[in-house]
A and B are shown apart, each in its own frame.
Chain A
Amino acid sequence: MPKITLPKGFSEVEKTIVLDYLETIGVGQDWARLVRTFNRLREAMVMIPGRGQRTFASIYTHLIDTHLMGPFIETLYQVDDVKASAVRLWASGAQQIVTLLCKAQLYSSDVPLTRLLLAYCLYWWEATAKGYAFEIEIFRDLEGRGIDFVAHDIRKSTERFTPYDLQIAHFLGDIKTSTYFLTLVSKTLVCDFYITRLWLSETRSRTLVVFLRSLMWDEIDGDTLLVAWQELENNPSQPVRIAHGSGELVVADYELWKDKVRAYQTRQEGNNESAKNH
Chain B
Amino acid sequence: MNRQRTIETLSAVEFEHVVEQFIEKAATWDGVLPAETFFAAWEDLTEDAPPLEVQATFVGDELVLETAPESPLTARGNRIRLEDGRELVIRFRSFASGVRP
Contacts and interface: CB of A to CB of B under 8 A. Distances in A.
Contacts of B43: 229
Given A115-B7, A229-B39, A245-B46, A11 B69 contact: yes
Which range contains the number of B residues in contact with the other chain?
35 or more
A27 B31 CA distance: 8
Contact of B42 (A131, A134, A182): A182
Interface residues of A, number: 64
A52 interface: no
A213 interface: no
Interface of A: 7-9, 11-13, 15-16, 18-19, 22-23, 25-27, 30-32, 35-36, 83, 87-88, 90-91, 94-95, 98, 108-110, 112-113, 115-116, 118-119, 122, 126-127, 130-131, 134, 177-182, 185-187, 196-201, 206, 229-230, 232-233, 245
Contact of B22 (A30, A122, A131, A185): A122
B16 to A, nearest CB: 5
Contact of A11 (B15, B41, B72): B72
Contacts of A112: 7-9
A91 B27 contact: yes
B26 A126 contact: yes
24 contacts: A8-B85, A11-B69, A11-B70, A13-B69, A15-B7, A18-B7, A27-B33, A27-B34, A27-B37, A31-B33, A32-B41, A87-B27, A88-B27, A94-B27, A112-B7, A116-B7, A177-B32, A181-B38, A182-B38, A182-B41, A199-B34, A200-B34, A206-B32, A230-B36
